[in-house]
Structure 1
Amino acid sequence: MKYMATYDIMETMRNTNEWMGATARAMASYPAVAMWPNPAMEMMRAWGEVTERSFARMVAKPDWNIDSVTAEDGRDHIVSTRKVVEKPFGDLIHFRIAGRHERPRKVLLVAPMSGHYATLLRKTVVSLLPDCEVYITDWHNARDIPVSMGKFDVEDYTLYLAEFMRELGPDTHVIAVCQPVPLALAATAYLAEQDPKAQPRSLTLIGGPVDPEANHTEVTDFGRSVTMGQLEETMIQRVGFKYPGVGRMVYPGLLQLASFISMNSETHSTAFQNQIMAVAKGDASDNDKHNKFYDEYLAVMDMTAEFYLSTVQRIFKNREIATNSFTVEGKPVDIGKITTVAVKIVEGEKDDISAPGQCLAALDLLTGLPDAKKASHLEPGAGHYGIFAGKSWRNNIRPLVLDFIDANSGAPKKAKSANKNIAAE
């Protein structure tokens, strides 16, 4: 499958479906068609509208769509984004709020690089903006990065995070969500040894696979059952001629999307059937619940092949973070070197992606951190999405995280002795 032709065939299929949807919508929208009292034409128009929008979203990067935020003065203040650090594979961006005093809480949100854009954390950003200065990692689509920019694997990702933390300074509070949790932990440990003064004040790790073997899920079972050779043969392709990254080896976003949908194919099929009926009846709108969800869900990005394969090999198969054997540029990264950064673990009771226990395993690795700087929270009844963007996040987890940040905002003091005990909330 490692050919441009394979990649271009997938893009051709997507483009064809988008064109077919647009054609059906246009044909069924002619005024003359209204003279034919047959609901089939209205259904054709509805199918075309839903199909065109769905396949068009697959190659579009979503906007943040955060126009304003209400401050303590009761007024709405305009929100804009500013690039603080620009790098080939990802930027560090800041959400600037015009006319508002800078907030004392400086938060770095580490977004996942797992098929979707950083905008997946839009609701998380919106919930934090009133109380924090929010920065986020904005990862780039690998198909748009020329081959001349080189590789990008888990070590490069870790070094990017370390650079972003250095840029923001020691008063930063890092919140890592899902996939980057083990690498955010590694980046902090890397700084603890290489540049201790650049370490953040606190590290909140939400639903990530620090130890995938702590509690098995379909994701971990897949990682254990498939060989690296199988993954490389079936998942990796070369970017086609349409994009700037032509020739780059990637795990294509369209292939990832097919995997996402196959896991809950019946649910997605029903959702699209219902949406087509709603459009035909005139009950749908541009920003209804279906469109808001699928505009984000269907917008996928390519990952570099080396990042995807090294994640499976080193994080899931070899468990290098879980066994504290991770290295960066040939140098060991000892998580036990973290002695001053407060660490909080957040997990969801019903998380079927990173099941309870996988993220909690981080606390056992923090042998140099006193128990007073360790905390954990298991959210009852919450799934994976809910612990960082749903009702559980808004009502329960967010207030706990902000309290944790406030409790650890002072200048850190180095621990006198290692303490292996774990303090849970």
Structure 2
Amino acid sequence: MRFMAAYDLMETARNTNAWLGATARTMGSYPATALSLNPGFQMLAAWGEVTERAFNRMVAKPDWNIPPIAAADGHDQSVLVEKVLERPFGDLLRFHVNGREPKARRILLVAPMSGHYATLLRSTVVSLLPDADVWITDWHNARDIPVSAGKFDVEDYTLYLAEFMKHLGSDLNVIAVCQPAPLALAATALLAERDPDAQPRTLTLIGGPIDPDAAATDVTDFGRRVTMGQLEQAMIQRVGSKYAGVGRMVYPGLLQLSSFISMNAETHARAFRDQIFAVAGGEASDHDRHNRFYDEYLAVMDMTAEFYLSTVERIFKGLEIAQNRFTVEGKPVDIGKITKVAIKTVEGGKDDISAPGQCVAALDLLTGLPDEKKASHLEPDAGHYGIFAGGSWRRNIRPLVLDFIDANSDMPASKKIAPADAPAREAERSAPAEGPDSVPV
């Protein structure tokens, strides 16, 4: 598998399917077909439209498209996406609200780097922006990073997070979603040892595999079944000649996407079948529920081979975070050294990616943190997607997280901002439709 030919073969297959879809859509849309009473032409055009869009989305990075924020005087304030720090493997972005005074809440969203772009958290950003200044980690697609930029593994990821936190200052509140939860915890511990004044004020860990062995899922079962040698041989490929990262060893996004879809194959097949019938019947639109969800879900990115392999080996198999044995640059990172950062965990009762128990395990590692600075929440009916961007997040979890941030703020109580219902309603309108609830991130 570790050859450019394998990578180029997948890209060729994707291109071919996109071309077949475009061809079918064109053939089924000729005016002459309207003279026939055979509905097959409509179905052909509908199948082609859905297929072409699906395969073209796989190599396109989605736009942020953040809607304007309503000011107190009723005027709309536009939102600009600004690069605060630029690094080879990821940038720190700020969502700047034009004409607005700085908010008391300052939040860094740590987006997952597990196959999808940071835009997967678009609705999370929209829900927080009315009540906070928001930054986010924007990880780059490994296929576009030249080999000369070097490696990027879990230790480099942790150092990036520590740098971003330090840059934003100690009045920062960090929210890490899924995959980065253990590394965000490690980055906080790293700052606690090396630069205590740069630690964030609060850290919220949402649905992350702090201790993968605490509750079994298909993800953890897969990690236990395969050896690192099997994983490297089966999953790692070399970027082909089409991209700037030619020659870089990666875990391809297209391969990851096939794993995502296989976990809920029946649900995805039914969704695409229904969409074809909707298009044929004239009931679909460019921004309907299906397209809003799958435009994001199908947009995948490559991960560096060393990041993917070190995540499996050190976080899932070696349990280095779960057993407090994680090291960075050869030096141990002691999670017990965190003594003043308030930490909250959030889990979904129906999460089949990071099952309940995996994330809350972080609190047992915080031996130096007083109990009053620890908190946890289990959302009984929420799946993986729901706890950070779905209805459960907007209605229940978001207010709890903002309350947690406020409770650990230095501001006088009279100056704290009360969570409003309006941001949640706006986020619900702009969020992608919730397709399969267990969106792996």
**TM-score under structure 2 length normalisation:** 0.92
Alpha-carbon distance, 1:200 to partner: 0.3
Q: Partner amino acid for 1:385?
A: Y
Aligned to 1:313: 313
Q: Partner amino acid for 1:341?
A: V
1:40-189, aligned counterparts within 5 Å?
40-189=40-189
Q: What SS does the corresponding residue of 1:387 show, helix, strand or coil?
A: coil
Alpha-carbon distance, 1:319 to partner: 0.3
Alpha-carbon distance, 1:72 to partner: 2.3
Alpha-carbon distance, 1:267 to partner: 1.0
Q: What SS does the corresponding residue of 1:347 show, helix, strand or coil?
A: strand
* C-alpha distance in 2 between matches for 1:398 and 1:67: 19
Q: Partner amino acid for 1:88?
A: P
Alpha-carbon distance, 1:33 to partner: 2.2
Alpha-carbon distance, 1:263 to partner: 1.1
Aligned to 2:430: none
Contact 1:351 1:383 (8 Å CA) reproduced: yes
Alpha-carbon distance, 1:74 to partner: 2.2
* C-alpha distance in 1 between matches for 2:345 and 2:28: 53
Q: Higher mean Cα deviation, 307-316 or 382-391?
A: 382-391
Aligned to 1:233: 233
Residue-by-residue CA offset, 1:313-340 (whole Å, 9 max, x unaligned): 0000010001100000001000011001
Aligned to 1:420: none
Aligned to 1:389: 389
Alpha-carbon distance, 1:38 to partner: 1.8
Q: Partner amino acid for 2:17?
A: N
Q: What SS does the corresponding residue of 1:246 show, helix, strand or coil?
A: coil
Alpha-carbon distance, 1:75 to partner: 2.0
* C-alpha distance in 1 between matches for 2:273 and 2:247: 37
Q: What SS does the corresponding residue of 1:129 show, helix, strand or coil?
A: helix
Q: Does residue 249 of structure 2 align to residue 249 of structure 1?
A: yes
Q: What SS does the corresponding residue of 1:353 show, helix, strand or coil?
A: coil
> Which segments of 5 or more consecutive residues in structure 2 lack a partner in the other structure?
412-441
Q: What SS does the corresponding residue of 2:262 show, helix, strand or coil?
A: helix
Residue-by-residue CA offset, 1:278-325 (whole Å, 9 max, x unaligned): 101100000000000100010000000000000000000010001100
Aligned to 1:360: 360
Aligned to 2:3: 3
Q: What SS does the corresponding residue of 2:386 show, helix, strand or coil?
A: helix
Alpha-carbon distance, 1:67 to partner: 2.9
* C-alpha distance in 2 between matches for 1:54 and 1:290: 11
Q: Does residue 159 of structure 2 align to residue 195 of structure 1?
A: no
Q: What SS does the corresponding residue of 1:130 show, helix, strand or coil?
A: helix
Give 4+ residue runs of structure 1 displaced > 3 Å after superposition.
none
Q: Higher mean Cα deviation, 32-41 or 192-201?
A: 32-41
* C-alpha distance in 2 between matches for 1:102 and 1:73: 17
Q: Partner amino acid for 1:334?
A: D
* C-alpha distance in 1 between matches for 2:94 and 2:71: 17
Q: What SS does the corresponding residue of 1:385 show, helix, strand or coil?
A: coil
Q: Does residue 326 of structure 2 align to residue 326 of structure 1?
A: yes
Q: What SS does the corresponding residue of 2:280 show, helix, strand or coil?
A: helix
Q: What SS does the corresponding residue of 2:81 show, helix, strand or coil?
A: strand
* C-alpha distance in 2 between matches for 1:125 and 1:238: 34
> Which segments of 5 or more consecutive residues in structure 1 lack a partner in the other structure?
412-425
Residue-by-residue CA offset, 1:347-370 (whole Å, 9 max, x unaligned): 111111111111111001101111
Q: What SS does the corresponding residue of 2:350 show, helix, strand or coil?
A: coil
1:332-371, aligned counterparts within 5 Å?
332-371=332-371
Q: Partner amino acid for 1:219?
A: V
Q: Partner amino acid for 1:67?
A: P
Contact 1:67 1:80 (8 Å CA) reproduced: no
Q: Partner amino acid for 2:283?
A: D
Q: Does residue 36 of structure 2 align to residue 36 of structure 1?
A: yes
Residue-by-residue CA offset, 1:339-395 (whole Å, 9 max, x unaligned): 010000111111111111111110011011111111111111111111111111111
* C-alpha distance in 1 between matches for 2:263 and 2:317: 22
* C-alpha distance in 1 between matches for 2:152 and 2:409: 33
Contact 1:57 1:298 (8 Å CA) reproduced: yes
1:217-228, aligned counterparts within 5 Å?
217-228=217-228
* C-alpha distance in 1 between matches for 2:271 and 2:408: 44
Q: What SS does the corresponding residue of 2:78 show, helix, strand or coil?
A: strand
Alpha-carbon distance, 1:266 to partner: 1.1
* C-alpha distance in 1 between matches for 2:66 and 2:151: 32
* C-alpha distance in 2 between matches for 1:33 and 1:222: 49
> Could you tell me the percent identity over the aligned residues?
76
